[in-house]
Structures are given as C-alpha cells and as structure tokens.
Structure 1
C-alpha cells in the first residue's frame, strides 16, 4: 500500500505509470468524498454507487493520459460532474419519452385497427434497424433492452468495461434513430423504441 502522505500529484504520476497501488490509494482517498458529492444530486444509494464505480473504472482506463501537473481533485470531480449530468439527462429523456409513449398508446387505442397497423410497421422498422447493427453491438443492445440488464451486469457477463457497454448502447441508439429518420417519422420511431 502507498504511503498515504503522498500528494495527489505524486499518486497521479504513479497512476499514469500503471501503479495499481496508487490507484487504490486514490480510490480510498476519494471514494467517500465522491459518494457524498454524487448522492447530493442523485438521491439514490444504488445509483450513486454505480456512478462511483463507473468513475473509477474510467479513471483506470485513461490512467496513461492523466496529467499529474494538473489538479487531480479538480480532474476527478469533473469526471463525477459529467457522469451525474449524463445520468440526470438520461433520466429526464426517459421520463419525457415514457409520457409520450403513454400518449401514443392511448391514441392507438382510440383510432383502432388502422393505427395499430401503422404502429406495427414502425415496429418492423425498429427490428430491421437492430438487425443491421454489428454482432457485438446488437448483442449488447438486446441484453440492455430485451433482457433489462444493467450496464454493469452486461459488462460482467461479457468481460468488458461499463464504459464500453455505454459506448455500444449510445452508438446503437444513434444508428437506430438515423435509420428511423431515413425510413419513417423519427418521433414515432423513438416511441416504438421504448414500447418494444
């Protein structure tokens, strides 16, 4: 274990040189501080723990690019802030989409068979879009959307990082939205994405 009297800059330098001990020391030094910081915004113990884990996984992934001359504290809090903003943005988008989904479902129910047939066409476009994804990306997307697995669970099953899972999901959604934009009404397409 590292001497806990080492400065953040010294530990950051060692971390950039692949030191696992430096990583562990920084984890011990910052995990509780980051927990309180993140929990203040997320208000959920589970979500906070997930975000903390993602922060340190990402920190290890980019260890070779860390500049020890810059403030490590500012650096890792910036990482935390970005993860929090991404989380809150995703939650807000999901809430808005769910409201729109309920409205669309009610519309289909009111308009009857014709609307259902139109909606089924959008479902088929959605299926076609997924089929066009690269094999690994398609697998990860289906594990997320069809099996309802968390990014952490997918990462553990496939032996990859949570960040890699997030990148695959983001790229999948980007491709699917583009595909819908080319083949249908994008807004309805996004609704189908969350209804299936």
Structure 2
C-alpha cells in the first residue's frame, strides 16, 4: 500500500493505516526531534507522541498529495516551539513573582523600620516630658535594664519609691501613647 493510499484511509478513520504510518515514521521523527531538542530524550519522546495524537485528531485535514514526513516534522517543530514559549513565559512569570516577593519583603522591612523609628522618637519625646527624677529612673530601668534594687542603691532611695515612680512613668506613657496611636494608625 502506498503512502497516499494510507493517508486516504487515515482520513476515513482507519486505525490500521494510522498504525502503519506511525511504525514507518515515528523513528524518523524521533531522530529529527532529538536534534531539535539537543539530545533531550524525554521531551523528544513526548513530542513524537503528541505529534501523532495531533495527526489522528486532524486526520481529515491531511493532504495525501503532499509529503507526510514534512507535515509531521512541521507539527512536531511547532509543538516544540510552543513548549519553549510556554517554558519561557513560566520562567519569566516565576522570576517576576520572586522579584515582587523580594521587593515586598524589602518594602515591609523598610516600612517596619520607619514605624519603629517613629514610635521610638515618640517614646523619647514622652520620656523627655517626665519629671527629672522619674525620667532618670525610667531610663535606668528601661533603656539600661538596671534592676530596681540597683537603681535604688545608685540614687540612694528605697526600692518601693523606684517601683512607684516606674508605675507612674508607665501610666503616663501608656495614656499618652493612646492619643498618638490613633494618629499612627491613620498614617
């Protein structure tokens, strides 16, 4: 049976004609695609299979008067180009997402640093408004991490006075920060 006759039978849905064409051309197509994929056997096998699936799906559109091998190679080459295009788009999209996440993390870090500095300057402002002794006790306790006992010894006052002054300083800070929190949240 000639190739032309097999192609005519294929157009009518003959599975034996399809099998005969597959057996005749699959190895030739495989070798052609192996060169096109630079030796990638996995993608080559996949493309040969997909090409013949496409042949079966479009069997009624095949022109029996034209070279079937050229038609096969054209379909396979187009499938390969589509695959490369798909992989390129996927790669570009993945890189874009990675870059966006990195920039977002950077932006969040910058934003958090700005927020921290604003809050720190606000706290420093409120500390500056405390009465001198209370201010000194608060700074020794919170900024330098000194214990109440050590502050009491250093300032020659009782620990209970230190506790009272710290409690008053914290109440003052808390009350005043409440007013600023609303402003901070609006910002």
TM-score where L is the length of structure 1: 0.51
CA distance in structure 2 between the aligned counterparts of 1:57 and 1:35, rounded to whole angstroms: 14
Query: Aligned to 1:65, which of 49, 61, 69?
Result: 61
CA distance in structure 2 between the aligned counterparts of 1:57 and 1:68, rounded to whole angstroms: 18
Query: Aligned to 1:99, which of 69, 87, 95?
Result: 95
CA distance in structure 2 between the aligned counterparts of 1:110 and 1:72, rounded to whole angstroms: 57
Q: Paired residue for 2:76? A: 80
CA distance in structure 1 between the aligned counterparts of 2:69 and 2:92, rounded to whole angstroms: 34
CA distance in structure 2 between the aligned counterparts of 1:110 and 1:68, rounded to whole angstroms: 62
CA distance in structure 2 between the aligned counterparts of 1:28 and 1:114, rounded to whole angstroms: 64
CA distance in structure 1 between the aligned counterparts of 2:2 and 2:73, rounded to whole angstroms: 17
Residue correspondences, number: 110
**How much has 1:85 moved relative to structure 2?**
0.9
**How much has 1:60 moved relative to structure 2?**
0.7
Contact 1:9–1:71 (CA<8 Å) still a contact in 2?
no
- Give the match's secondary structure for 1:112: helix
1:87-126 matches, cutoff 5 A: 87-112=83-108
CA distance in structure 2 between the aligned counterparts of 1:90 and 1:8, rounded to whole angstroms: 34
Alignment deviations for residues 135-179 of structure 1 (CA, whole Å, 9 cap, x no partner): xxxxxxxxxxxxxxxxxxxxxxxxxxxxxxxxxxxxxxxxxxxxx
Q: Paired residue for 2:14? A: 19
Contact 1:11–1:22 (CA<8 Å) still a contact in 2?
yes
1:36-185 matches, cutoff 5 A: 36-42=31-37, 43-112=39-108
Q: Paired residue for 1:188? A: none
**How much has 1:113 moved relative to structure 2?**
8.1
TM-score where L is the length of structure 2: 0.54
User: What 5-or-longer segments of structure 2 have no aligned partner?
Assistant: 112-187
Considering only CA atoms, is the larger Rg found in Structure 1 or Structure 2? 2
CA distance in structure 2 between the aligned counterparts of 1:8 and 1:114, rounded to whole angstroms: 70
CA RMSD of aligned residues (A): 2.0
**Worse-superposed segment, 79-88 or 41-50:** 41-50
**How much has 1:41 moved relative to structure 2?**
2.4
- Give the match's secondary structure for 1:29: helix
